[in-house]
Amino acid sequence: MNKTLTILGLESSCDDTAAAIVRMRPGHAPEILSSVVYGQEELHTVFGGVVPEIAARAHAEKLDICVVEALAQAGVDLRGLDAIAVTAGPGLIGGVMSGVMCAKGLAAGTGLPFIGVNHLAGHALTPRLTDALPYPYLMLLVSGGHCQLIIVRGHDDFTRLGGTIDDAPGEAFDKTARLLGLSQPGGPAVEHEAAQGDANRFGFPRPLLDRPGCDMSFSGLKTALLRARDQVMDERGGLRHKDRADLCAGFQAAVTDVLAEKTRRALALYLDENPPAPNLAVAGGVAANTAIRAGLESVARDMNAGFTAPPLALCTDNAAMIAYVGIEKLKAGQVDDMTLAARPRWPLDLHSPAMLGSGKKGAKA
Please report whether residue 171 would count as binding Zn ion according to CB under 5 A.
Answer: no
The minimum distance between CB 123 and Zn ion, in angstroms, equals 6
Shortest Cβ 269–ligand KG4 spacing (Å): 25
Distance, in Å, from the CA atom of 74 to the CA atom of 68, rounded to the nearest integer, reads 10
Residue 173 interacting entry, from Zn ion, ligand KG4, none, C-beta within 5 to 8 Å by type: ligand KG4
By rule CB under 5 A, what count of residues binds Zn ion? 1
Q: Which does 289 bind (CB under 5 to 8 A by kind): Zn ion, ligand KG4, none?
A: ligand KG4
Among 52, 89, 122, 145, binds ligand KG4 (CB under 6 A): 145
Residue span binding ligand KG4 (CB under 6 A) among the ranges 54-62, 142-150, 239-247, 294-302: 142-150
Query: Which region among 96-104, 230-238, 286-294, 340-348 touches ligand KG4 (by CB under 6 A)?
Result: 286-294
Residue among 126 and 176 whose Cβ is closer to Zn ion: 126
Contact status: 40 vs ligand KG4 (CB under 6 A): no
Q: First-to-last CA distance in the chain? A: 31
Of 5 and 194, CB closest to ligand KG4:
194
User: Should residue 289 be labelled a site residue for ligand KG4 when binding is judged by CB under 6 A?
Assistant: yes
**Residue 16 binding Zn ion, by CB under 5 A:** no
Residue 361 lies near ligand KG4 (rule: CB under 6 A): yes
* Residue number closest to ligand KG4, CB atom: 187
Binding mask 165-204 for ligand KG4 (x = CB under 6 A): -----xx-xx----------xxxx--x-------------
Residue 172 CB, nearest approach to ligand KG4 (Å): 8
**Contact call for residue 317 and Zn ion (CB under 5 A):** yes
Q: Which stretch binds Zn ion (CB under 5 A): 201-209, 302-310, 313-321, 341-349?
A: 313-321
Q: In the bound complex, which residue of the shown chain has the CB atom lying closest to Zn ion?
A: 317
Task: Return the exposure string of 96-116: e unless at least 16 CB atoms fall within 10 Å of the residue's CB, then b.
Answer: bbbbbbbbbebbeeeebbbbb
Residue 81 beta carbon to ligand KG4: minimum distance, rounded to whole angstroms: 26
Under the binding rule (CB under 6 A), the answer on residue 362 touching ligand KG4 is no
Report the site for ligand KG4 in 297-326 (rule: CB under 6 A).
316-317
Q: What is the Cα Rg of the chain in Å? A: 21
205 neighbors 228 (Cβ within 8 angstroms):
no
Which of 191, 317 has the CB closer to Zn ion?
317
Nearer to ligand KG4 (CB atom), residue 190 or residue 232: 190
Q: Measuring CA to CA, which residue among 185, 179, 146 is closest to residue 162?
A: 146
Q: Given the complex with ligand KG4, which of 24 and 283 has the nearer CB atom?
A: 283
Q: By the 8 A CB rule, do 322 and 91 touch?
A: no
CA 67/CA 133 separation, integer angstroms: 28
Q: Which of 163, 250 has the CB closer to Zn ion?
A: 163
Q: Give dist(CA 259, CA 296) in Å, integer.
A: 8
* Residue 113 lies near ligand KG4 (rule: CB under 6 A): no
Spatial separation of the C-alpha atoms in residues 114 and 19, rounded to whole Å: 14
In the complex, the residues that contact ligand KG4 under the rule CB under 6 A are 14, 143-145, 170-171, 173-174, 185-188, 191, 284-286, 288-289, 316-317, 361
In the complex, the residues that contact Zn ion under the rule CB under 5 A are 317
